[in-house]
Amino acid sequence: MGDSDEVLDIKTADIKAVAPVFHRQSKKLSDALTTLVSTLDGLGKPWGDDKPGK
């Protein structure tokens, strides 16, 4: 952390400038989660119904 007492130096303009990037990445993450869930749902239960599978 160094010797500085300053923890964050974030300006409102900085936040506004990166907001579109966060929005795009959030959408990509949401799409990836949807793909993962639908893919796993489509597999059924490939781990089996035996004791280790449960």
Mean pLDDT, rounded, for 11-15: 92
| Rg of the chain in Å (alpha carbons) | 21
Three-class SS state of 52: coil
- For 14-37, write each residue's pLDDT tens digit: 999 999 999 999 999 999 999 999
The predicted structure's pLDDT at residue 21: 96
In which region does residue 10 sit, left (phi positive, over 0), alpha (psi from -120 to 50) or beta (all else)? beta
Give the predicted TM-score (pTM) of the model. Answer: 0.58
- For residue 45, pLDDT over 70 is answered with yes
